[in-house]
Structure 1
Amino acid sequence: MSHTEQELRKLYHDTFSMPKGAAKFAALEEVMRHADALGLVEFAFDVRMQATSVFQHSWVPAKAFLSYSWCLAAYDREPERFGARAEHRLLWNIKWMIYSVHQFPEVPLQRAFDLLDDMERRYRRGGHSMHAVLQHRGLVAESVGELEQAQEFYERMDRTRRDSLSDCAGCVPSSQVRTLVALGRDEEAIRIGEPARTSFCSEQPQWINSELLLPYVRTGRGEQALEAHRSAYRRIRDNPHHLAELALNLRFCVHTGNAGRGLDLIERHLPWLGQARTPLAEAEFAAAAVAVLTALENQGEGELLLRFPAAEGRRRPDTSVTALAAELRERALDIAARFDTRNGNDYQSNRIRRWMAAGPIGESVPMSVFSVRAHTPGGDRVRGLIEKVAAATATGDAEGAARARLAAAEALLEAERPAEAVEAAEEAIRELERLGMTGDATRCQVLLARAYEQDGHRAEAVRRLRELLEKQHGDLPGSPDRPEWEATLGEWLRYGPEASRWYASAAQGFAASGRTAERLSALRRALLCNPAPTAVAELLAEAESALAEPGTPVESRAGLLHACARMLHHDGRLTEAATHLATARDLLAGASAAQSAQSAQSAETAETAETAELLGEILTALAGVRLRLGAPDAAEEAARAALDLTTDPDDPWNEARWNAVVVLVRSLRARGARTEAEQLMADHGLDEEDLDEWDG
């Protein structure tokens, strides 16, 4: 399929809002191919530079090599065509290529050295500092076991001025700490790294916090290590790009005597191995996981059954601790052997073996929330439940301890401490499932989904709630009931066909239990979420059936009519859309008048304001439909009525008022009142582009 340039630019723009993943990668590659076919060289360059960043900061740096190489070759052929800004972007991105390329054993090591030489040549030619060059020479030297060279590059970099091509204030110390830890200089690593823990970029502060874990533990700073782990993991846990940092956090669990916590992380993140950004990251995660699993074997838990979440529609079969340890040990050593062949030494194999043999260092660091005496709001109840866990454990009441863990997780969530609730629920689930307490385990899974959502990790919350609803055919344990959870999942998904499907399913559940108002609300959301084209007719029919039910609240009926009208309008059924909107207007106009009369002697109620806001939206939509039906006078009447209802007329960002003004201007123009229309545009700061952008 071919595209025009305009279509291609829109397709490219649409990729900005897509989440990282296979669909976004494919869309960017499609834009590149068609840009090449149309001969849009500058556009193809810009797309590839953006794609290089997307690929590098996802888990497919191999794709970044290809897009970057194309851009570098194009620039070298015609530097004047792309300019100084393009050169700066290329010089910045070459650091990403060097950082990644040496982590692929299939790529000859000389390729990394050639890139470093090319980087230095280009930097010198442009009069730039050697700071970034020395940093990346040190990283490559450290990765192949040339530690004396790594130290030399580190010290030279430390004496070299920074400039605009140097990494940020968090990433430079992160690479320094990595080298210092390999050299055994822990105190210096902490001194260099700690100031960077407040830095932020796409890699920070999770990278620096993860690199500091081992020096913290080896120097007896257990509390600092625990805080760094928690801070790092909250930013790592939703993105496979951070697999290498996750490996460092797994090692922390082993070093501090928290193999159980490490197992939670393995069960959740093992599917990431299929998305490892580089073979080195894959080997490091596998080796760190082996250390965790070996610690559990030593505790007599080798036969413990592990279950893994589904990833991209597939789920890894259950396996035991011992079997998984053997599998990952072989995997890690195989990758390390490939690096040794490429590097000409056994540095990586020895390093990976040390990782797999890791054990506790110094005193254990209590990591479980059940070992903490909390003093924040809700602390008394939480402390009591923590003591109950300890007491039940001491008397051998494993089931009582597991239920107390679940109750503590609930208390933490009620106390608005979602991060701690996540940790408590994950620990409770492991115990409940081990004891075969299926009902309590499912209840805890529901709680965990809520905790993730409240802690700002919506993607993980969606994944967990979706799995529960697909697995459980009846109500989930606890309150609310299934239709409410389905509506909640639709809300968490926010937009798109899947969100619409869950809202539609919730509407059916509400209908079955006679909850008409909730049914109408769910159907309205299902229609507004951009349902799949094949689902629209069925949703509209379901909505008409719901609207025919007696006794439904006026606002619910009006809201659903409005949503139906939007679908009808989009489908070109303008007359039907106008009828629905007029009916909704009449319903709300009566309700608004009644509410105003009731509140005439007092301040306007929130309910009255909400009704007026919805009525304004409906009137604006009605004006737009009437305009398209060729009735500008009727459109003007509706637009003026909508404008009268909008609040805060001096707020330039009031979207409802802006929409009403735009459709009023277009109505005035349609009936020939251009002078009044131009004055209205001037009064509200509108231009022709604003009128063109409005889609009715």
Structure 2
Amino acid sequence: MSHDEAELWAALEAAQATGSHEAEQAQLEDVVRHADAGGFSRLAFVARRALASAYCVGRQWDRAFPLFARCLSEHDSRVREFSPAEAASLRSWYCWTIQSMAEFPAIGLPRIYAALDDVEQRYRAAGQNLREVYETRRSVAHIAADWEQEDHYFRQWLAAGGPDPGGLWDFALQVDRLTDRGADAAAYELAAPVLAGARTFGVPPVPVQIDMLLPLARLGRHAEARQAFRRARRDIFRDVYRFEYSGKLIEFCALTGNLDAGLDLVSAMMWGFPTLNRPTGRMGFAASVAVLMQQMVEAGRGAEPIDWSKQDPDEYVTAAQLLEQMRGIALDLAARFDARNGTTAQGDLVRARLAAQPVGRIRVGAAQFRVRRPIPPGLPAEELLSRAEWHFYREQRAVARDHLRALGQPPAHLAARRAHLLAMMDDGPDAGADLHDAAEQYQAADDLIGMMLCLCDVAVWMSDDGRQDAAVGVVTQMREALHKQPDQRAIALAEVAFAFVVVRSDPGAADEALARGAHHAAESGDPHVVAKVARLQVHRALALEKPPEQVIALATTLRDAAFAAGWPANVVRAFDYLETAHARAGTTAAHHQAIDAQIAQLPPGTPQLVRVGFGYAQARGFLANGRAADAVPALEQLIAEERPGGVPAEHWNWLAQAYFAAGRLDDAVDAADVDADWLDELQDRGSLATPSMADENRKLLVECYRRLGEPDGVSEQLEILGRKARERDDADLQAYVHALVGHVR
């Protein structure tokens, strides 16, 4: 980086526009370093303040303290060089820094009170109103649990001017004080106009909405609580908010019967928790997560795995384990604050939260889409590994991974199977080597069938890697060897592998292999293998434009085998194939009528997957025939069934359309937003069967936000659509965006 001052000023401006906290910090650190080296004191001062803010946004609050101290020292040594406005801004920063210092129990109260006296003297010397000083003293008293001082300085703050009429955070302070004191009715009376949208502040009222969640629930205002939750949940991801606010969303879910919605928030927010170094934030968020985990345990879900973004792939944490971790963090930090403050207030508050009982049931989501499922404690290693294999081969990788985490290092006789499964789960460049290693482990254990099937997987990997001749040689040898074994299932899988490898070079041989595989699969009695072969056969039949009757027969075999195998993804594929075949045959209407009749005739005790599959087929008919609202229940059940293996982005879009048709706008936003980015990526790749679906999904979000009165949501979606229109030079999409932007304005 250049040491020229003008270029450094430009670098400062560029750093603040990066959009990445890590990149901004690194660039600002460079600016500060070079400004100091060049003797550009004013530039260094400005850059330090910007860097302090960047550290706080990046959860490294304590790194801002020395930067402020340096700036204060430089101001005091060169007072005349600073304008009155710059000096006032520094005093405001001083107040903010003191509030932050109080959030670290390692910083003693005498030091904090001395800083308060110093900043008050500076305000008085400048003849400036003490309103901000009183608010700072009130905040420190609140953290120090000195309630008399807190009330005293709150009144001083009011006398000195009180809340800025247009300031959200001043208003939020008043609401927070009431909710802290359990004055739910008074808090509601104050907050009601904001919750209803009658009073606005130019920014989303997220802190007010979140602080009012539990009071609204306790007051029985469930509809308002649900609306406040959903709006706050959407807006909290559009800006940077303290972790405590995310924690309160989680805590609300815990105490209103929304455990799975709370788990989704934990998954989204826990990624930043390990690096959060602001103790009040860590204490508050940990307590909230502990409340949720406590409810999980009490609901019998203590053994359920808990996952979150950026978690180590090999880390296995159950709800019961996370409860102990988070409870320990919250209570330890509370004890540190109490030791500093000379009270038990923080510890008492945390313990009261941990002991809180549910306040009622409020449905905040469209449906309970549960992903993680508990693993019964005490399962033997053989059972854990078998379950992991079962889920993996039904395309439920996350659940398979959970079982492997619970398994850990297995007994020696299971090592080869574990190594094989891990290699199959690896999509990276080492997968081939790992498969070879697993085959060697099978051989060492004298498991010849396991070794040969593993080498069939090696051949498929080699073919995908472009090593076709070698792949054909390996799979041919293994297929011939397995045909000499009495294991019909293994023979069928070998034929499947052979078909995979040779289909590009000799499609006829692949079809013959699949026909042999279907025979051996049927002989094996294993519905999973039957479904595996049938899926490939029906796919080939469609590609070769075989008669619809043949496709329908194969797809029906696939459907029934997938039902028996408990394989949701293949159930959906089977009904998709049936829909396509009937469309080609011109019998779609009759097919939909037959589906309706089959659903009506399902006997009591019909397996849930069968009901879900036929419901999905019926929902497709509803969507095609202008009855989208009628598709809601079936699509909800489908997605709940699919979640462990991953929900296709198209299904979220269909559910969003159905919700929209039913007038359930908040639900439509939730569903459309889940995979909006993924739909865009699939559109860019050319992988969407209906390419316009990605744009239509965004347009649906625009319309929902418009009707819900959420302009930030409208603007966000229009900005994305506008960018897409420019990148594709799409005149129609550009016209849509321009028309809507003008309408919104």
- When normalised by structure 2's length, the TM-score is 0.52
1:171 CA drift (Å): 0.8
- Can you list the C-alpha shifts for 1:428-480, whole angstroms capped at 9, x where unaligned? 866533xx4x254676689899999x9799999698689999xxxx997x636
In structure 2, C-alpha distance between the alignment counterparts of 1:155 and 1:78, rounded to whole Å: 36
Indicate whether 1:479 and 2:689 are aligned. Answer: yes
1:141 CA drift (Å): 1.6
8 Å CA contact retained: 2:12, 2:28: yes
Aligned to 1:188: 186
Indicate whether 1:22 and 2:33 are aligned. Answer: no
Taking structure 1 as reference, are residues 31 and 206 closer, same or farther at Cα in structure 2, changes over 3 Å only? Answer: same
Aligned to 1:242: 242
Once the two structures are overlaid, the 10-residue window that deviates more, 220-229 or 79-88, is 220-229
- Can you list the C-alpha shifts for 1:484-513, whole angstroms capped at 9, x where unaligned? 99xx9xxxxxxxxxxxxxxxxxxxxxxxxx
Indicate whether 1:92 and 2:95 are aligned. Answer: no
Matches within 5 A, 1:443-462: none
Aligned to 2:74: 74
Matches within 5 A, 1:382-421: 398-399=608-609
What is the one-letter code of the residue matched to 2:10? K
- Can you list the C-alpha shifts for 1:109-155, whole angstroms capped at 9, x where unaligned? 23332232223222222223232222222222222222233223223
8 Å CA contact retained: 1:56, 1:96: no
Taking structure 1 as reference, are residues 408 and 272 closer, same or farther at Cα in structure 2, changes over 3 Å only? Answer: farther
Aligned to 1:227: 227
Aligned to 1:628: none
Aligned to 2:208: 208
Aligned to 1:151: 151
Percent of paired sites with the same residue: 26
8 Å CA contact retained: 2:92, 2:132: no
What is the one-letter code of the residue matched to 1:366? R
Aligned to 1:366: 363
In structure 1, C-alpha distance between the alignment counterparts of 2:202 and 2:21, rounded to whole Å: 20
| SS of residue in 2 equivalent to 1:345 | coil
Aligned to 1:108: 108
In structure 2, C-alpha distance between the alignment counterparts of 1:11 and 1:189, rounded to whole Å: 46
Indicate whether 1:337 and 2:335 are aligned. Answer: yes
1:366 CA drift (Å): 2.2
Gapped runs of 5+ residues in structure 1?
Answer: 372-391, 489-524, 530-555, 560-604, 611-696
1:37 CA drift (Å): 0.7
In structure 1, C-alpha distance between the alignment counterparts of 2:69 and 2:621, rounded to whole Å: 52
Matches within 5 A, 1:52-67: 52-67=52-67
8 Å CA contact retained: 2:172, 2:208: yes
Taking structure 1 as reference, are residues 318 and 83 closer, same or farther at Cα in structure 2, changes over 3 Å only? Answer: same
8 Å CA contact retained: 2:273, 2:282: yes
Corresponding residue to 2:322 among 321, 324, 329 = 324
8 Å CA contact retained: 1:282, 1:332: yes
- Can you list the C-alpha shifts for 1:397-447, whole angstroms capped at 9, x where unaligned? 6547877799999999xx9x9xxx9xx9999866533xx4x2546766898
Aligned to 2:461: none
- Can you list the C-alpha shifts for 1:96-118, whole angstroms capped at 9, x where unaligned? 21332211122222333223222
| SS of residue in 2 equivalent to 1:161 | coil
Task: Number of aligned residue pairs: give it.
Answer: 454
8 Å CA contact retained: 2:290, 2:323: yes
Aligned to 1:432: 642
In structure 2, C-alpha distance between the alignment counterparts of 1:112 and 1:408, rounded to whole Å: 63
> RMSD value over aligned CA atoms?
4.8
What is the one-letter code of the residue matched to 1:322? A
Aligned to 1:563: none
1:307 CA drift (Å): 2.6
Indicate whether 1:83 and 2:293 are aligned. Answer: no
In structure 2, C-alpha distance between the alignment counterparts of 1:464 and 1:156, rounded to whole Å: 52
In structure 2, C-alpha distance between the alignment counterparts of 1:240 and 1:431, rounded to whole Å: 34
Aligned to 2:132: 132
Taking structure 1 as reference, are residues 34 and 158 closer, same or farther at Cα in structure 2, changes over 3 Å only? Answer: same
In structure 2, C-alpha distance between the alignment counterparts of 1:139 and 1:341, rounded to whole Å: 18
What is the one-letter code of the residue matched to 2:689? S
Indicate whether 1:296 and 2:296 are aligned. Answer: yes
Taking structure 1 as reference, are residues 49 and 152 closer, same or farther at Cα in structure 2, changes over 3 Å only? Answer: same
In structure 2, C-alpha distance between the alignment counterparts of 1:33 and 1:139, rounded to whole Å: 34
8 Å CA contact retained: 1:238, 1:457: no
What is the one-letter code of the residue matched to 2:363? P
What is the one-letter code of the residue matched to 1:479? A
Taking structure 1 as reference, are residues 305 and 606 closer, same or farther at Cα in structure 2, changes over 3 Å only? Answer: closer
Taking structure 1 as reference, are residues 246 and 277 closer, same or farther at Cα in structure 2, changes over 3 Å only? Answer: farther
- When normalised by structure 1's length, the TM-score is 0.55
8 Å CA contact retained: 1:42, 1:82: no
1:281 CA drift (Å): 1.0
Taking structure 1 as reference, are residues 190 and 150 closer, same or farther at Cα in structure 2, changes over 3 Å only? Answer: farther
Taking structure 1 as reference, are residues 606 and 200 closer, same or farther at Cα in structure 2, changes over 3 Å only? Answer: closer
8 Å CA contact retained: 1:91, 1:123: yes
8 Å CA contact retained: 2:15, 2:24: yes
Taking structure 1 as reference, are residues 324 and 445 closer, same or farther at Cα in structure 2, changes over 3 Å only? Answer: farther
Taking structure 1 as reference, are residues 146 and 355 closer, same or farther at Cα in structure 2, changes over 3 Å only? Answer: same
In structure 1, C-alpha distance between the alignment counterparts of 2:37 and 2:672, rounded to whole Å: 39
What is the one-letter code of the residue matched to 2:642? L
In structure 2, C-alpha distance between the alignment counterparts of 1:427 and 1:32, rounded to whole Å: 56
In structure 2, C-alpha distance between the alignment counterparts of 1:79 and 1:428, rounded to whole Å: 68
1:11 CA drift (Å): 1.8
1:200 CA drift (Å): 4.1
| SS of residue in 2 equivalent to 1:59 | coil
Aligned to 1:178: 176
8 Å CA contact retained: 1:251, 1:291: yes
In structure 2, C-alpha distance between the alignment counterparts of 1:107 and 1:236, rounded to whole Å: 30
Corresponding residue to 1:346 among 344, 347, 358 = 344
In structure 2, C-alpha distance between the alignment counterparts of 1:406 and 1:132, rounded to whole Å: 63
Taking structure 1 as reference, are residues 219 and 455 closer, same or farther at Cα in structure 2, changes over 3 Å only? Answer: closer
In structure 2, C-alpha distance between the alignment counterparts of 1:28 and 1:360, rounded to whole Å: 46
Taking structure 1 as reference, are residues 448 and 289 closer, same or farther at Cα in structure 2, changes over 3 Å only? Answer: farther
8 Å CA contact retained: 1:132, 1:167: no
What is the one-letter code of the residue matched to 1:38? G
In structure 2, C-alpha distance between the alignment counterparts of 1:411 and 1:159, rounded to whole Å: 63
Taking structure 1 as reference, are residues 95 and 354 closer, same or farther at Cα in structure 2, changes over 3 Å only? Answer: same
8 Å CA contact retained: 1:238, 1:460: no
8 Å CA contact retained: 1:238, 1:459: no
